[in-house]
Structure 1
Amino acid sequence: MVSLTGKIRVSFLAALLAVAASVYGATNAASADTAAQSSASQIVADMGAGWNLGNQLEATTNGYPSETAWGQPVVTQALIDKVRSAGFKTIRIPVSYLGAIGPGPNYTINPSWLNRIQEVVNYAYNRGLHVLINMHGDGYKNVNGSWLICDSASQTTIKAKYQKAWQQIANKFKNYDQRLILESMNEEFDGQYGRPTQPCYSNINSYNQIFVDTVRKTGGNNASRWLLIAGWNTNIDYTAGNYGFTLPSDQYRSSSVPANERRIMISVHHYAPWDFAGEESGTITQWGRAATDPSKKSTWGQEDYLDAQLKMMYDAFATKGYPVVVGEYGSIDKSSFDSSNNRYRADFARAVTATAKKYGAATIYWDNGATARYGFGLFDRRSLTVTQPGIISAIMSGVAGAGLPSAA
Structure 2
Amino acid sequence: MSRLFGRLLVLALLVTGLSAAGPASAREPVRTPAQAVAAMQPGWNLGNTFDATGDDETSWGNPRVTRELLAGIRKQGFRSIRIPVTWGQHLSPDLVVDPAYLARVQEVVGWALDEGLYVMINIHHDSWQWIATMPTDHDNVLNRYNAIWTQVAAAFRDASPRLVLESVNEPQFWGSSGDTENYALLAELNTSFHRIVRGTGGGNGTRLLVLPTLHTNADQGRLDALAAEFATLNDPYLIATVHYYGYWPFSVNVAGGYRFDATAQADLLGTFDRLRTSFVNKGIPVILGEYGLLGFDRHTGTIEQGEKLKFFELFGHQARTSRITTMLWDNGQHFDRTAGAWRDTELFGQIASSWHTRSGTAAGDLLFVRRGVPVTAQTITLNPNGTGFTHVRLGRTTLRRGPDYQVSGDQLTLSAGLLTRLQGYGQRTSLSLRFSRGVPWRLDVVSFDTPLVSAATGTTAAFAVPTAFNGDQLATMTATYADGGNAGPHGWTPYKEFDRAFAPDYPAGAIKLTPEFFAEVTDGVPVTLTFVFWSGENVTYQVTRTGTSVTGTPA
Settle same-fold status: TM greater than 0.5: yes
Q: What CA distance in whole angstroms lies between the structure 1 residues aligned with 2:354 and 2:167?
A: 27
Q: Is this contact kept in 1: 2:227–2:279, CA < 8 A?
A: no
Greater strand percent: which structure?
A: 2
Going from structure 1 to structure 2, the CA distance change for 1:129 and 1:196 (only over 3 Å counts) comes to: farther
Cα shift readout 1:246-294 (whole Å, capped 9, x = no counterpart): 337447x6xxxxxxxx2100110011212332x276964442xxxxxxx
Q: In the TM superposition, what are the counterparts of 1:36-51 in structure 2 within 5 Å?
A: 39-51=32-44
Task: Give secondary structure in 2 for the equivalent of 1:222.
Answer: helix
Structure 2 equivalent of residue 190 of structure 1: 173
- Give me the TM-score of the superposition, normalised by structure 1: 0.74
Q: Which runs of 5+ in 2 are unaligned?
A: 1-30, 364-381, 383-555
Task: Give secondary structure in 2 for the equivalent of 1:246.
Answer: helix
Going from structure 1 to structure 2, the CA distance change for 1:182 and 1:167 (only over 3 Å counts) comes to: same
Q: What CA distance in whole angstroms lies between the structure 1 residues aligned with 2:360 and 2:159?
A: 36
Q: What CA distance in whole angstroms lies between the structure 2 residues aligned with 1:282 and 1:123?
A: 44
Shift of 1:45: 2.0
Shift of 1:157: 2.1
Task: Give secondary structure in 2 for the equivalent of 1:300.
Answer: helix
Is 1:223 aligned to residue 205 of structure 2? Answer: yes
Structure 2 equivalent of residue 366 of structure 1: 329
Task: Give secondary structure in 2 for the equivalent of 1:247.
Answer: helix
Q: What CA distance in whole angstroms lies between the structure 2 residues aligned with 1:83 and 1:276?
A: 29
Q: What CA distance in whole angstroms lies between the structure 1 residues aligned with 2:214 and 2:126?
A: 15
Shift of 1:392: 2.1
Going from structure 1 to structure 2, the CA distance change for 1:185 and 1:122 (only over 3 Å counts) comes to: same
Larger radius of gyration: 2
Is 1:166 aligned to residue 140 of structure 2? Answer: no
Q: Is this contact kept in 2: 1:151–1:200, CA < 8 A?
A: no
Structure 1 equivalent of residue 81 of structure 2: 91
Task: Give secondary structure in 2 for the equivalent of 1:83.
Answer: helix
Shift of 1:108: 1.0
Task: Give secondary structure in 1 for the equivalent of 2:263.
Answer: coil
Q: What CA distance in whole angstroms lies between the structure 2 residues aligned with 1:120 and 1:53?
A: 11
**Which residue identity does 1:79 align to in structure 2?**
L
Q: In the TM superposition, what are the counterparts of 1:258-407 in structure 2 within 5 Å?
A: 262-277=236-251, 279=252, 284-287=257-260, 300-302=263-265, 304-331=266-293, 332-333=295-296, 336=301, 341-369=304-332, 377-402=333-358, 405=361
Structure 2 equivalent of residue 121 of structure 1: 109
Provide the alpha-carbon RMSD of the alignment: 2.7
Shift of 1:223: 0.5
Shift of 1:225: 0.8
Q: What CA distance in whole angstroms lies between the structure 2 residues aligned with 1:315 and 1:356?
A: 14
Q: Is this contact kept in 2: 1:57–1:66, CA < 8 A?
A: yes
Among 90, 93, 111, the residue aligned to 1:100: 90
Shift of 1:243: 9.0
Q: Which has the higher contact order (CA 8 A, sep 6+)?
A: 1
Greater helix percent: which structure?
A: 1
Q: What CA distance in whole angstroms lies between the structure 2 residues aligned with 1:404 and 1:305?
A: 21
**Which residue identity does 2:156 align to in structure 1?**
F
Structure 2 equivalent of residue 27 of structure 1: none
Among 125, 135, 138, the residue aligned to 1:137: 125
- Give me the TM-score of the superposition, normalised by structure 2: 0.55
Going from structure 1 to structure 2, the CA distance change for 1:191 and 1:361 (only over 3 Å counts) comes to: farther
Identity %: 30
Is 1:154 aligned to residue 137 of structure 2? Answer: yes
Shift of 1:167: 1.2
Cα shift readout 1:135-176 (whole Å, capped 9, x = no counterpart): 000011xxxxx2212543221222122112101111111112
Cα shift readout 1:19-48 (whole Å, capped 9, x = no counterpart): xxxxxxxxxxxxxxxxxxx93431232011
Q: What CA distance in whole angstroms lies between the structure 2 residues aligned with 1:138 and 1:396?
A: 32
Structure 2 equivalent of residue 75 of structure 1: 65
Going from structure 1 to structure 2, the CA distance change for 1:43 and 1:102 (only over 3 Å counts) comes to: same
Q: What CA distance in whole angstroms lies between the structure 2 residues aligned with 1:305 and 1:168?
A: 40
Shift of 1:358: 1.5
Going from structure 1 to structure 2, the CA distance change for 1:47 and 1:403 (only over 3 Å counts) comes to: farther
